[in-house]
Amino acid sequence: DVVMTQSPLSLPVTLGQPASISCRSSQSLVHSDGNTYLNWFQQRPGQSPRRLIYKVSNRDSGVPDRFSGSGSGTDFTLKISRVEAEDVGVYYCMQGTHWPSWTFGQGTKVEIK
Amino acid sequence: EVQLVESGGGLVQPGGSLRLSCAASGFTVSSNYMSWVRQAPGKGLEWVSVIYSGGSTYYADSVKGRFTISRDNSKNTLYLQMNSLRAEDTAVYYCADGELFYWGQGTLVTVSS
Nearest CA in chain B to A53: B101
Interface contact flag, B47 A102, Cβ < 8 Å: yes
Interface contact flag, A107 B94, Cβ < 8 Å: no
Q: Which of A23, A39, A102 to mutate to test the interface with B (most CBs of B within 10 A)?
A: A102
Interface contact flag, B58 A100, Cβ < 8 Å: yes
Interface contact flag, B44 A105, Cβ < 8 Å: yes
Amino acid symbol at B28 = T
Q: Which conformational region is residue B74 in: left (phi greater than 0), alpha (psi within -120 to 50 degrees), or beta?
A: alpha
State pLDDT tens for residues B79-112. 999 999 999 999 999 999 999 999 999 999 999 9
Q: Kind and range of the H or E element at B21?
A: strand B18-25
Q: Give the model's pLDDT for residue B89.
A: 98
Q: Which of B33, B47, B64, B94 to mutate to test the interface with A (most CBs of A within 10 A)?
A: B47
State pLDDT tens for residues B46-79. 999 999 999 999 999 999 999 999 999 999 999 9
Contact between A22 and A6 (Cβ < 8 Å): yes
Reading chain A (113 residues) residue by residue, the pLDDT tens digits are 899 999 999 999 999 999 999 999 999 999 999 999 999 999 999 999 999 999 999 999 999 999 999 999 999 999 999 999 999 999 999 999 998 889 999 999 999 99
| pLDDT (mean) for B20-28 | 95
Of residues A54, A99, A104, nearest to B45 (C-beta): A104
Q: Which of B4, B43, B100, B108 to mutate to test the interface with A (most CBs of A within 10 A)?
A: B100
CA distance A56 to A25: 13
Q: Kind and range of the H or E element at B48?
A: strand B45-51
Q: Give the model's pLDDT for residue A100.
A: 80
Determine the Cα angle at A101 with ends B32 and A95, to 5°.
85
Nearest CA in chain A to B52: A100
Residues recorded for chain B: 113
Residues recorded for chain A: 113
